[in-house]
Amino acid sequence: MTLDFYWYPKCGTCRKAKKWLEEQGHELNVIHIAENPPSKDALKDLYSKSGLELKKFFNTSGQKYRELGLKDRLSSMSEDEMLTVLSSDGMLIKRPITASGSKVTVGFKENDFEQMWT
């Protein structure tokens, strides 16, 4: 089974996650998140399958997140507004996002990956 793997190649966490998945024998459909960010509809689908709060999809340590003052704005934004902002710039999205069928992980924690992807 091929996993969709949204990543940013310069991100150390993304490189660790990619290496871990490949070591487990997964084939990856690698997608550069800054060059080809997921559409609003794709993000909505990933979000609904993840079981996570939509806020967890934001790269809170990113420069763009700080520039847009999203820390203070997220709590008053609607789901639709958050999805619109996320889809506007791949650098706003927490990475990597790994997805297959109904399973989605955001970020890389080895324990979560072991539970989801082995």
In tens, the pLDDT along 87-102 reads 999 999 999 999 999 9
pLDDT at position 1, please? 76
pLDDT at position 48, please? 97
What is the pTM for the complete model shown?
0.94
Provide mean pLDDT across the span 35-60: 97
pLDDT at position 110, please? 96
Distance CA(89)–CA(31), nearest Å, equals 14
Query: Token pair of 90, please?
Result: 């791949």
If you average pLDDT over every residue of the chain, what do you get? 96
DSSP state for residue 62 in the 8-state scheme: S
Q: Where are the domains of the chain?
A: 2-117
Cα torsion for 73, 79, 82, 87, to the nearest 10°? 180
Cα torsion for 17, 115, 74, 65, to the nearest 10°? -10
pLDDT at 34 over 90: yes
Q: Integer distance in angstroms from the first to the last C-alpha of the chain?
A: 12
Phi and psi (nearest 5°) for 14? -65, -40
Provide mean pLDDT across the span 64-85: 96
pLDDT at 77 over 90: yes
The share of the chain scoring above pLDDT 90, in percent, equals: 99
Question: Considering the domain 2-117 in this protein, what is its CATH number?
Answer: 3.40.30.10
Counting beta carbons within 10 angstroms of the beta carbon of residue 11, is it exposed (0 to 12), middle (13 to 18) or buried (19 or more)?
middle
Provide mean pLDDT across the span 4-32: 97
